[in-house]
Amino acid sequence: DAKTTQPTSMDCAEGRAANLPCNHSTISGNEYVYWYRQIHSQGPQYIIHGLKNNETNEMASLIITEDRKSSTLILPHATLRDTAVYYCIVRVVGGSNYKLTFGKGTLLTVNP
């Protein structure tokens, strides 16, 4: 899997949008960008994934740059329960290498 680079930590005020960046400059054409988060003492939770188009679901939006070398996860209205470690991961979909390899992630702290 291509490596990703994320800030170690970020803060966000409750009710504001949280924008979490990720660099994946060596991403291959068949690799998707996945986002997971892990709330303290729980298992990682899938958030969203995308290939090259922007994606939105009930949890978040994913913005991928046109050259696919970076992306941003957007939580539109952060709550205290969104405090977690957020992992940006690139992963082949549809191929034989389907494993998920975690990097260090970003600790997002949502403040009241």
Residues that bind other proteins (CB under 8 A): 34, 41-46, 49, 87, 91-95, 98-105
Handedness of CA 101, 18, 46, 109 (dihedral sign): positive
To other proteins, the closest distance from the beta carbon of 10 in angstroms equals 17
To other proteins, the closest distance from the beta carbon of 104 in angstroms equals 6
To other proteins, the closest distance from the beta carbon of 99 in angstroms equals 6
Cβ(12)–Cβ(110) under 8 Å?
yes
Q: How far apart are CA 39 and CA 45, in angstroms?
A: 8
